[in-house]
Chains A and B, each alone.
Chain A
């Protein structure tokens, strides 16, 4: 069976510091991978998606970037965090095509 991991679970960072959040998937190959942010009262917003290694598409302009160095690894980064980057970050995977997305446990980020 497939599992998806995210770490860290919680992170408190000062404004201006760098960020690296990691997501890995087990039990499948060549998945589509997604990064979402959930902010209070604003629902889930898709930030990035990837259909293969090194292929990243950005949905909204922002202070964040994403990379996919390996088939089942998806990383969300920032060089300098802003207060507005606070939120709950969720990684998801799906098979190629129109398939159900399965979500990881999430990372809660607080930028102070």
Chain B
């Protein structure tokens, strides 16, 4: 079964600093999703990556999938307190027919100090 390892488990940064969160898979990634979660709330979809070397950006958040499709990184530029939360990566896993489930990493808790 596919396993995703996220690092670091937690991260504390000063407002305005850049940061990177990594997600490493035990198998080739065919669809990699990044979500953000505030404590006690649902997951908010950020970005989805499929192709080796693909990079997507939304506002100050950039996600990349490496060429070998086994590692993804999420980079935040000039962090703000609004970026605080838990970041989760999830990978597509085939479950039959034309359907997929998501296997998640354990998440990275980001704290941004003003």
In this assembly, does A29 line the interface, its C-beta being within 8 Å of a C-beta of chain B? no
Q: Interface residue tally of chain A, by bracket?
A: 20 to 34
Question: Given contacts A43-B106, A51-B99, A90-B42, could you give 14 more A-B pairs where the C-beta distance is less than 8 Å?
Answer: A41-B106, A42-B106, A46-B101, A46-B103, A57-B95, A88-B40, A90-B43, A97-B99, A101-B90, A101-B102, A102-B45, A103-B35, A103-B42, A108-B40
Residues of B within 8 A of A96 (CB): 98-99
- A residues contacting B by CB (< 8 A) are 32, 34, 41-44, 46, 49, 51, 57, 59, 88, 90, 92, 96-98, 100-106, 108
Partner of B42, one of A32, A51, A100, A104: A104
| Docked CA distance A108–B97 (Å) | 32
Q: Is the interface of B mostly helix, strand, loop or mixed?
A: strand
| Docked CA distance A102–B33 (Å) | 11
| Docked CA distance A108–B41 (Å) | 9
| Docked CA distance A43–B87 (Å) | 11
| Docked CA distance A51–B101 (Å) | 11
Instruction: Give min CB distance, A81 to chain B, whole Å.
Output: 20
Partner of A100, one of B33, B97, B107: B33
Whether the Cβ atoms of A97 and B102 lie closer than 8 Å is: no
| Docked CA distance A22–B98 (Å) | 26
Whether the Cβ atoms of A105 and B42 lie closer than 8 Å is: yes
Instruction: Give min CB distance, B92 to chain A, whole Å.
Output: 6
Instruction: Give min CB distance, A103 to chain B, whole Å.
Output: 4
| Docked CA distance A42–B95 (Å) | 22
Nearest opposing residue in chain A for B44, CB measure: A103
Nearest opposing residue in chain A for B40, CB measure: A108
| Docked CA distance A34–B106 (Å) | 18
Whether the Cβ atoms of B102 and A46 lie closer than 8 Å is: yes
